[in-house]
Structure formats: structure tokens, C-alpha cells
């Protein structure tokens, strides 16, 4: 081991158990150590080892020193430094630096066939490649039963596995691990995942008779109408249900009503049992409902209750709601599973249906049960009761002892330092890993610490994990207030709405990006950002510019204003469009005026429906946080009108003030 690094490791061992919050935060000294840390990383990157060692000495017990040691060992990774690596893994077991190093070390051990050492150093890994190496190690060390189990678990995937799995799969197959059922299971997973190429490859593990059916399945995937021409009464196979369901799913997504007719003819003419093929019937009626197609409710009602899945049960209620058939709403609510009936959503709609059918006293009782629940349905219930909204604020308290404990935790110390260095992604990862090990009292203390640091997303997440929901200042902070109030004034938008959208979109994480590519506080897609920049007479030279808080707020509010102007000046429609796109929202508009609570409930996308409900709820809370009397939720929910009937508004571009 490098002598200097051995000394640093010893110092860390001595100080790890005694460093407290006072040691970590020493004013200018801490700021200087942050600079030393960045300089040490740069020296290591450039191979300036003498400078690196000198800066390490100056850092002492600074919380991020493990990252430097890990990065150094990454660069020098070899079997010759195994003692150094093992010392580091023992000292920092479970930390991000240690587990990052462990992954690379395990890869090196596998490449060199050091299987005994691999098993000794292995911890459960998210990397499929390392999971496969683990199976190889088990096999090489004669732990055959465990290796066979590992191979079977890895096998069941709808996507291709890395090449590191091939030796394990080869041994598993050779020793009788791969059965016909497992081969078909993986083929089914591949077809469901849209991977027909993998399914075709897996056909090599089938016998001749089975291969014929796989080839037919692949043809159905390309031309789903083939299932309507097959004689299912004459020729049967144990994969018949899966093939039929696959073809019907594709037909249903193309035209649900026509697919429903085709399926009924096919089922009747070929004697296909409804109970055996209930999944197909559920799929057909679900998509008819999602698209508001005629006959959906009648087909739902004809499906025996015991064959309906939970999604279909819920959409039976929504389909009746969309038609404002309140007697059918009550019948479909009665058909929900007992657990579903207890949900605030369906209790509210039972109250609404009772009210609409004249059972006012029963409706009032149900509204009363909802009124104290501070959520979307509770706020709607308050409006029906004619009661004012009261949001109770109870500041979160944490004991000095708990605060001291969490401030002394190395994982949280590393998280806080990474946050101070604006390395927000790694900071959140460190925090979340440490948070999973905290008890309820420590979670409150961690939330309080994050709040003190202005780290709003971690404060909200930690408080939620602790089950504390009454500290309104912590749960609904007011960051970027100047920029938000300025843009709200320029664009005639409610700042409470902007805050509600921002909280739901990013939890105030300015650096965050979604899996779809949306960026920043208001989660703007790069393509949308370029379009908005054009509306402002600007060019977006890099999508990373959307991570700038001021620009993101300016562009996001511009986009929000346009949705409002083009969608009946309706907050629910505009909020839905911000999430799902204006073209979809226009496709969801009713054929005749519809109550907005019904329109929101019948949004076809679960994500968008929940999004709208949460933003509207947050909007009301933010009114209070901004010192205003909250608007009744029902006042934000005027009737939703059919397409083409909304009042025409002035062209947005003419009204846009200078950004």
C-alpha cells in the first residue's frame, strides 16, 4: 500500500467515531477544505500525485476524503493493491465510495478468475453483469445449488442478458436447469417487452412442435389480425391463451370497439371459455373505457363481477361518471373490491352520486368523513359542506440529541458536503442511503437539518418518511420567490399555481432530469425549451441552460400561460396539458359541458390524473403560504366545455411582455 495513503487510512479509522458537527463545520476552515478537495480531485485527474498527497494531508478528517481515496484506487486498480482495497471496504462498508469501489474490484476479480475472493468480497449488486459473475463464482467454488438458483433467476428476463451470463447459463442448461416451461416463460416476457428478436433466438431451446407455435406467435406480433383467421377449436396449444392475448392486445390498441366485436365473434364461434380468457375481455373493455367509446359501460356491466380486475372495476365507475349516469355510478361503486371502496377517491364519488340521486343526508355523512383529510377529495368535500378550508401548521421539533446524532453520521456529512459543492445528484444518493437507516426521531432531525440548509427536497422526503405532514413551512417552502413573483406578475399567473406545478414537477431540485429528458425546476423538455426560447426571441444553444433556475422559471411560466390561454382559461385543463401535452387534453374534451371534477377523474392517464389532483391541492396550500385567503377548490373547477366552444382569447404572442 502507498505509505502516505496508509497513513490517511489510519487517521480516518481514529477519527471516524469521534468527529461531530463542530469538527465538521468550522467556518472559513471548512470552506477552504472544500477548495482543497476540488483541487485534490483535479491533481489526481492530471496525475500530479505529489500535489494530491499534499492536499490530502491538508484535508485531514474532511468528510469527502473517502471519495478521493476511492478515486485514487480506481485509477490504480490491480490485484497488487488488494490489501489497500480491503482495508477501505472494511472501514467504509456500505458507503457510496466503498460500494462504487467494490463494483470495480469485483469486476477485476472476475476477469482474473479469482472466484473465491470474489465470493468473499461480494455484496448484492444492481449490476446484472456482476450478478452473472456471482453465479459463475458460485459454480466455480462448487456451490452448485445456489448457482443453479441464481441462473434461473437471471434467466427470467424479457431483455437480453450480458455476455457474462453465458458461461453460467451454459452450465445451468447442461445440467438440466432449463425446462420447457422456463423457455416459454422467457419467450413470453420477451414478447411482452417488445423483443421479438430475443424470442426468436430463444426458439433454439424448444422442440419442433413448439417452434411451430413460436413462429406463429412472431407472425401474429407483426400481423395481429391473423388470430381472427386461425381455427382455435381444431388446433390447441398451452401457449394459445398467451398468443391470443398478444394479438388481441395489439388489435385493441388500434381500435377497441372493433376489437371487441371481433373478439366476441371469435370467442363464440370457437367455443373459447370466457373465464379462461377473462384477461382479454378485461383488456378490451378497459380500452373502450379509456377512449370513452360508445357501448363501454354496457360491456362492462355484462362482464361478471368476479372476472373483473381492479383497473376495470375503477374504470366502470369512471365510465358511468363520464355519462353522468349516477345510478350506474352507485352500482359500479358497489362492485369495487372492499379495499378500493375505502379509498378517499371512491368515498367522494359515492357521496357525489348519493347527492345527485337525492340521498342528501347520506351524502353529507360521507362528505364529513372526508372533510378532515387534507387532500384533493377532502377539499372538494369541504366545498360541498360549505365549510372553509383550514390548514393546520405544526412546526416540526427534533431533540438536540437527535440533531447531534444525525449531524455526526458520516453518510449525511458526505451528503451535506456534496450538496455544498453543488454536486446535487451524488448528494441526494448519499442522503437517501443514509436515511434508510434512521429511526423516526432521527428522520425528523434529518428533515430539520435539511430545512436549515435550504435543501428542500431532502427535508420534504425525510419528513414524509417520518410520517410528519403538518409542518407547512417545511413541506411547502417558498424558494426562488422573487423570480416566481416577477414572472407571475408579468404573465398574469397565480404564483400559488406556479409553486404547485414546481413542487410536483421537481420538488424544487434545480438540477434534476426525468427519464424522458425533462430538465430543471419546471421540468422542461429540450425540444419544448427551444420552442419557448423562440417565443422569447432567444436561442437555446444548449439544453443544459434549462437547469438555470431563472431561465427555467421564465420558460416554464411562459409555457403554462400558453396552455391556459388555449384551453378555456381552465386551470385543470392547463395543468393536465403541462403534464401530458395540449393535443392529448384536447382529445379528452367532452362532447357536452361536463363538471370539472368528473373531467379530472376520467383523465385516461393515471399519472396525469394524479398530477392534476396534486397540483390543485398544492395550489390551495400555497395560497395560504403566500398570505392569501385560499380560493375554494370548486371555484377553480368551472365546467369543461367541448372542443371549439371555448371563448377565443387574444393571441398569446401579442400579450407576452418583454422577458
- Inter-residue long-range contacts of 160-167, CB under 8 Å, 24+ positions, other chains counted: 160/195, 160/198, 161/128, 161/132, 162/128, 162/129, 162/132, 164/110, 164/129, 164/130, 164/132, 164/133, 164/136, 165/128, 165/132, 165/135, 167/136
Contact 115, 140 (CB under 8 A): yes
Task: From the candidates 84, 442, 505, 601, give the one annotated as an active-site residue.
Answer: 505
Residue 519 phi/psi, 5° resolution?
-130, 145
Residue 6, Cβ neighbours under 10 Å: how many?
A: 13
Q: Which of 552, 554, 526, 555 is nearest to 541 (CA)?
A: 526
Q: What angle do CA 135, 137, 140 make, to 5 degrees?
A: 110
Contact present, 259 and 281 (Cβ < 8 Å): no
Does residue 524 sit in helix, strand or coil?
strand
CA distances from 183 to 162, 201, 249 (A): 18, 11, 22
Instruction: Residue 281: count other Cβ atoms within 10 Å of its Cβ.
Output: 25
Which stretches of 296-343 are DSSP H helices?
Answer: 296-302, 310-322, 326-334, 338-341
99 is catalytic: no
Query: Under DSSP, is residue 40 helix (H, G, I), strand (E, B) or coil?
Result: helix
Place of cell 483541487: 39
C-alpha to C-alpha distance for 644 and 224, rounded to whole angstroms: 36
What is the grid cell recorded at 627?
A: 398570505
Nearest CA among 475, 498, 476 for reference residue 486: 498
The residues, any chain, with a CB within 8 Å of residue 264's CB and separated by 6 or more, are none
Cα–Cα distance, 256 to 263 (Å, whole number): 10
Q: In this structure, what C-alpha cell is assigned to residue 428?
A: 441526494
| Beta-carbon count within 10 A of 342 CB | 10
Residues with Cβ within 8 Å of 641's Cβ and at least 6 positions away in sequence, in order, are 568, 589, 590, 593
Region of 580 on the Ramachandran plot (φ > 0 left; ψ -120 to 50 alpha; else beta): alpha
Cβ atoms 573, 581 nearer than 8 A: no
Q: Which residues contact 511 (CB under 8 A, 6 or more apart)?
A: 422, 424, 425, 520, 547
Catalytic residue annotation: 505
Amino acid at each position: 500500500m502507498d505509505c502516505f495513503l496508509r497513513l490517511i487510512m489510519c487517521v480516518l479509522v481514529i477519527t471516524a467515531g469521534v468527529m461531530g458537527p463542530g469538527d465538521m463545520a468550522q467556518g472559513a476552515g471548512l470552506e477552504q477544505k472544500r477548495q482543497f478537495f476540488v483541487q485534490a480531485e483535479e491533481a489526481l485527474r492530471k496525475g500530479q500525485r505529489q500535489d494530491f498527497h499534499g492536499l490530502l494531508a491538508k484535508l485531514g478528517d474532511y468528510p469527502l476524503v473517502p471519495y478521493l481515496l476511492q478515486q485514487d484506487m480506481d485509477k490504480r486498480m490491480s490485484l497488487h493493491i488488494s490489501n489497500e482495497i480491503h482495508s477501505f471496504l472494511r472501514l467504509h462498508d456500505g458507503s457510496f465510495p466503498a460500494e462504487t469501489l467494490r463494483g470495480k474490484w469485483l469486476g477485476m476479480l472476475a476477469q482474473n478468475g479469482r472466484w473465491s475472493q470474489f465470493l468473499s468480497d461480494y455484496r448484492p449488486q444492481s449490476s446484472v453483469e456482476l450478478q452473472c459473475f456471482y453465479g459463475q463464482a458460485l459454480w466455480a467454488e462448487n456451490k452448485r445449488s445456489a448457482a443453479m438458483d441464481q441462473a434461473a433467476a437471471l434467466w427470467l428476463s424479457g431483455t437480453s442478458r450480458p455476455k457474462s451470463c453465458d458461461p453460467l447459463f451454459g452450465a445451468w442448461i447442461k445440467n438440466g436447469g432449463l425446462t420447457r416451461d422456463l423457455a416459454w416463460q422467457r419467450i413470453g416476457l420477451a414478447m411482452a417487452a417488445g423483443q421479438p428478436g430475443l424470442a426468436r433466438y430463444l426458439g433454439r431451446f424448444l422442440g419442433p412442435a413448439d417452434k411451430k407455435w413460436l413462429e406463429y406467435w412472431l407472425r401474429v406480433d407483426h400481423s395481429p389480425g391473423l388470430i381472427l383467421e386461425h381455427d382455435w377449436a381444431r388446433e390447441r396449444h398451452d401457449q394459445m391463451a398467451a398468443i391470443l392475448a398478444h394479438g388481441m392486445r395489439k388489435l385493441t390498441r388500434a381500435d377497441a370497439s372493433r376489437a371487441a366485436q371481433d373478439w366476441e365473434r371469435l370467442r363464440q364461434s370457437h367455443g373459447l371459455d370466457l373465464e379462461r380468457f377473462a384477461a382479454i375481455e378485461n383488456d378490451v373493455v378497459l380500452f373502450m373505457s379509456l377512449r370513452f367509446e360508445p357501448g363501454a359501460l354496457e360491456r362492462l356491466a355484462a362482464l361478471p363481477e368476479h372476472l373483473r380486475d381492479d383497473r376495470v372495476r375503477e374504470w366502470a365507475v369512471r365510465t358511468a361518471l363520464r355519462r353522468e349516469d349516477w345510478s350506474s355510478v352507485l352500482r359500479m361503486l358497489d362492485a369495487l373490491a372492499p379495499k378500493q371502496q375505502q379509498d378517499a377517491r371512491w368515498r367522494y364519488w359515492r357521496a357525489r352520486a348519493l347527492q345527485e340521486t337525492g340521498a342528501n343526508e347520506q351524502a353529507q355523512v360521507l362528505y364529513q368523513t372526508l372533510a378532515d383529510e387534507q387532500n384533493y377529495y377532502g377539499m372538494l368535500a369541504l366545498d360541498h359542506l360549505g365549510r372553509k378550508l383550514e390548514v393546520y401548521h405544526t412546526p416540526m421539533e427534533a431533540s438536540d440529541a437527535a440533531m447531534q446524532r444525525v449531524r455526526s453520521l458520516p453518510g449525511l456529512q458526505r451528503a451535506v458536503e456534496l450538496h455544498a459543492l453543488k454536486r446535487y445528484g451524488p448528494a441526494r444518493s448519499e442522503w437517501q442511503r443514509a436515511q434508510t437507516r434512521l429511526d423516526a426521531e432521527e428522520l425528523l432531525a434529518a428533515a430539520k437539518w435539511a430545512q436549515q440548509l435550504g435543501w428542500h427536497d431532502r427535508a420534504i422526503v425525510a419528513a414524509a418518511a417520518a410520517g410528519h405532514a403538518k409542518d407547512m413551512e417545511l413541506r411547502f417552502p417558498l424558494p426562488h420567490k422573487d423570480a416566481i413573483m416577477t414572472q407571475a406578475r408579468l404573465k398574469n399567473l397565480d404564483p400559488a399555481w406556479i409553486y404547485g406545478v414546481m413542487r410536483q414537477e421537481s420538488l424544487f431540485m434545480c438540477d434534476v432530469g426525468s427519464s424522458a429528458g425533462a430538465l430543471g425546476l419546471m421540468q422542461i423538455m429540450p425540444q419544448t425549451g427551444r420552442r419557448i426560447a423562440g417565443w422569447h426571441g432567444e436561442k437555446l444553444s444548449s439544453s443544459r441552460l434549462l437547469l438555470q433556475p431563472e431561465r427555467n422559471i421564465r420558460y416554464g411560466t411562459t409555457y403554462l400561460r400558453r396552455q391556459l390561454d388555449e384551453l378555456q382559461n381552465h386551470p385543470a385543463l392547463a395543468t393536465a396539458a403541462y403534464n401530458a401535452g395540449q393535443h392529448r387534453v384536447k382529445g379528452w374534451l367532452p362532447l357536452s359541458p361536463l363538471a370539472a371534477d368528473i373531467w379530472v377523474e376520467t383523465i385516461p392517464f393515471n399519472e396525469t390524473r394524479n398530477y392534476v389532483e396534486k397540483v390543485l391541492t398544492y395550489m390551495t396550500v400555497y395560497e395560504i403560504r403566500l398570505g392569501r385567503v385560499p380560493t375554494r377548490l370548486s371555484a377553480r373547477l368551472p365546467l369543461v366545455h367541448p372542443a371549439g366552444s371555448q371563448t377565443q382569447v387574444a393571441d398569446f404572442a401579442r400579450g407576452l411582455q418583454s422577458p
